Copies of this chain bind each other. A is one copy, B any other.
Amino acid sequence: MREDEVISVLLAAAQPVAGAGVLRGPGDDAAALRPPAGQDLAWTVDDHAEDVHFRAAWGWKAVGRKAAGAALSDLAASGASPVGALLALTLPAGFGRGDLVELGRGFGQKLAEAGCPLVGGNVTRGPRVQLSTSLLGAIPRGGGLWRDGAEAGAALFVSGPLGLARAGLLWLEAGGDRDDPALQPALRALLDPAPRFELGLALRDHSCAVLDLSDGLARDLPRLARACGCAADVELARVPAPTPALAERVGEAPSALAWVGGEDYELLVAGPPALEGLGLTRIGQLSAGAPGEVRGASGEAGYDPFADAPSGSGAPTHE
């Protein structure tokens, strides 16, 4: 396929939804948008790369959904509503038309479910498949959610079970059966992450600090605490984890999965105790102390792909 053909196949498969503020979609040097009047913009970019964040064997539709879901999560965690997306896609020489259709379909579906129009992008040749997704969202003036929005004494919460995506990753990397019923919650968490838009919008009414758990609690909790200038006390036993039965299938303790597992895209929130009413689970609090220090938890660090000796079994990383 030639470049122009790649673009037209991809767009036909993605079936972009219309957007009220989209003046010009794909086809020019730039897209043109008219952002909602009187609102601020949240702007983020997220990469999904073959053999770092996914395997070709997982299926291209799943890869498209996963890449879009992970990127959308950054908007959700900012309290933003989607305005539009650009996709910079890298494809190897042998990538087939059928695979491109599946990739475009998965990516487009996931965007459409969030009401997010695909307004442009770029294609490049490369040794492996990579999706770089840039997203714009709208937030009320001064109303966004940021990781430094809380102080010592704030309660710490997470929005759902952690470690499921890591369990799914361990299962697939070990060659486990994709259709095993017991693994479905884990595989869904890994392959089809749900951005927490509703929760993000609800949190805008509260004074709180928020980030999405892309790299795992072990790495993301110190980041939030550091941004708030606080230490964090966490009760690991309170962190919602995969069931012991599921954890046993992948050979790791539930609490270990929940502590180091990345890519769950649940929200980590620090704020008033009343936030529990939003369906959040309380796991500890911010407290006076060395900024970023985490107390009362296992000392195991999350997986960092830039560490000198990365482990092959950890979940990948996202900023």
Choose among B75, B119, B124, B146 the residue that contacts A47 (Cβ–Cβ < 8 A).
Answer: B124
CB atoms of A90 and B49 under 8 A apart: yes
Report if A293 contacts B (CB, 8 A).
no
A121 to B74, CA, bound (A): 12
Say yes or no: A128-B125 contact (C-beta < 8 A), given A44-B31, A304-B2. no
Interface residue A154 (Cβ < 8 Å from any Cβ of B):
no
Residue tally, chain A, CB below 8 Å to B: 73
Which of the 9-residue segments A22-30, A107-115, A156-164, A177-185 touches chain B?
A: A22-30
A78 interfacial by beta-carbon distance below 8 Å: yes
**A89 CB, nearest partner CB in chain B, Å:** 9
A125–B52 touching, CB < 8 Å: yes
- Contact between B23 and A44, CB atoms less than 8 A apart: no
* A80 sits at the interface (CB 8 A): yes
Task: List chain B residues, Cβ under 8 A from A32.
Answer: 40-43, 78, 139, 144, 146
Q: Once the chains bind, are A3 and B41 in contact (CB under 8 Å)?
A: no
Q: Is the pair B43, A84 in contact by a Cβ cutoff of 8 Å?
A: yes
Report which of B35, B43, B77, B210 forms a contact with A119, defined as CB distance below 8 A.
Answer: B43
